[in-house]
Every structure is written in structure tokens, then in C-alpha cells.
Amino acid sequence: MELTGFRDRLAMVTGAAGGIGQAIVAALLDAGASVLATDLPEALAAPDCRDGDRVIWRPLDVASAPPDALIAEAEARFGPLMLGAHAAGALSTLPLLDAPAEEWEFVMGTNARGVFNVTAAMGRAMRAHGRGGAITVVSSNAAGIPRMNMGIYAASKAAATMLTRCLGLELAGHGIRCNIVAPGSTLTGMQTGMWADDQGAARVIAGDGPSFRTGIPLGKLATPQDIAASVMYLLSEQAGHVTMADIYVDGGATLRG
């Protein structure tokens, strides 16, 4: 089945220079969409972050301010915003008793306030043009299961997940769908940055009893393309009756759907 609903439509992607964000941008462009791709200024120095006929790259700190002006700029060039994928995020692996308040502020600012800033701006743009739309937020399976030394991260992702579901309820009457993809361990820089050696993937797949972490039943890590595929489904016309859903894409690691 070919997913539809992308050709000649404007999509916005945050965290677009990261592994999952890059995969989402590539999938959207392949499907015929135009893309407003955003990330932190330093991330946009990468060679792949260059404007093209159907993509513009713009700096955005999602925690700082809503991106209404960037959306307006993209709409002036490509037409009304119809699709949104929020993939920007920050990780914390500090124990709660040892974490400084600054760690809480930074991670919650990126993962919770950032979702509010971005999805609310997307929703305002879609409501204004009155043609409906779809927004998908990349959260985490940590939003639904306690994790050792990841309390701040898990709390921030739980906030992001519930905020997205509540936004979906508010926007449903405008024909705008809001959904969540909750990845587990995925082959990105955020994941590999936690590994001490070349056995990191094997340890994640096997799980760890002392840290109360289950392994991955499918026996493999996700790729950024795996996550992008789920995002694309939720943005597509084939998911036209799906809203406020929370899809776990973690190979069964959290033993839930």
C-alpha cells in the first residue's frame, strides 16, 4: 500500500538534522511534500542541511519561542502548512537525587515546552487555513515505563505525550489529527552516545536485570527509517481516522503496544 496525502503539501519537521529527523525529511521529500526543516543553529552546519527546490532549512531552538514566523515564511513559499513532525529532543541520564535543577529546566524546556511551542504554532496555522492537517510528535517509550537514571527524561516525554493527546482533542473539531510515535532504542547519536564500548547494542538488545530494563524481543535496534515510517503513516491519508494514538515502535521492549 502506498501512503498518500503528501504531494504538493507543506510539512514542518523539527530536530531535522538528527537521525530520526533526517529520515523523516527524506521520506517526506520522496513522497512529494515540501519541507520546512528546523534544528539548532549548530546542527544546520552539516552539509546535508542546504535549501533546495522543495526544502528550506531554518534555525530553531524549540524551547525558546513558538515558530509562527518560520511557518508563515514557509507558507508564503509553499502554501498552507498541512503536516507537522516534531522530532527535536534532549536526553538526560542523571539520577534524580543527583541532578541539578538546571538539568530539569533544560530537558523539560526542550522536551515539554518545546512540544508546546511547536505543536501549538502548527495547530494555529492549520486552524487558520481551515483545511485540516496532521501533527505527529516523536516521544519515547520511556514516557510509559520507569527507567533507572532517566527520571527527568521520562517525565519530560510523558508530558510531551499527554500534551499531544490533549491538543488532538482540542483540534479534532477542525479536522486536525495529533498522534505520537514512541520509539525505543534506535540507532542514533543519542543512543550510541550512551554506550561505553562496541558491545552497547548487544547489551541493549539483551536487557539488564539489575537496572530493571527488559531486552528487545525482536532482537534488534530500530533504525531512524523505522521510526520515520511510523511517522509517515500517522501523517498520511491512510491514518485519516487516527488521532490521539500513541504507537510504540520499540521491538516489544516495553511489552505494550
Query: Which residues neighbour 225 within 8 Å (Cβ) at sequence distance 6 or greater?
Result: 23, 27
Angstrom CA distances, 124 to 81, 105, 120, stand at: 10, 26, 6
Alpha-helical regions (H) of the chain: 19-30, 68-78, 101-108, 114-129, 151-171, 189-192, 200-206, 224-235
Antiparallel, parallel or unpaired: β 81-86 and 133-138: parallel
* Cell reading at 202: 548487544
The H or E element spanning position 106 is helix 101-108
User: Is residue 153 flagged as an active site residue?
Assistant: yes
Q: How does strand 10-14 pair with strand 246-249?
A: unpaired
The neighbouring-strand residues paired with 195 are none
CA dihedral 108, 162, 118, 183 (to 10 degrees): 80
Q: Which of 57, 78, 153, 248 is catalytic?
A: 153
88/209 Cα distance (integer angstroms): 30
Residue spans of alpha helices (H) in 134-221: 151-171, 189-192, 200-206
Q: Annotated active-site positions, please?
A: 153
